[in-house]
Amino acid sequence: MAVRTRMKRMLKSSLQSFGMMRGPALALKPEPIQVAGRGRTALVAGGSGFIGSHLCEALLARGFRVLCVDSLISGRLRNVSGPAFAQARGQRRFRFVKHDIQEPLRLRADFVFNLASPASPPHYQAHSLLTLRTGSEGTWNLLNLAERSGARFFHASTSEVYGDPRVHPQREDYWGHVNPIGPRACYDESKRYAEALIMEFHRKRGLDTRMIRIFNTYGPRLDPDDGRVVSNYIKQALRGEPLTVYGSGRQTRSFQYVSDLVEAILRVMFTPGLEACVFNVGNPGEFTMLEAARLVQRLTGSRSALVHQPLPQDDPVRRRPDISRIQAALGWAPQVPFEKGLEETIAWFRKEEMGA
For the packed helices 185-205 and 139-149, what is the interaxial angle rounded to 10 degrees? 30
Cβ partners under 8 Å of residue 211, min gap 6: 154, 155, 156, 157, 195, 198, 277, 278, 279
Angle at CA of residue 284, ends 283 and 289, nearest 5°: 90
Active-site position among 187, 218, 233, 257: 187
Cβ partners under 8 Å of residue 351, min gap 6: none
Active site residue 187: yes
CA 57 to chain centre: 15
Q: Which residues are marked as active site?
A: 187
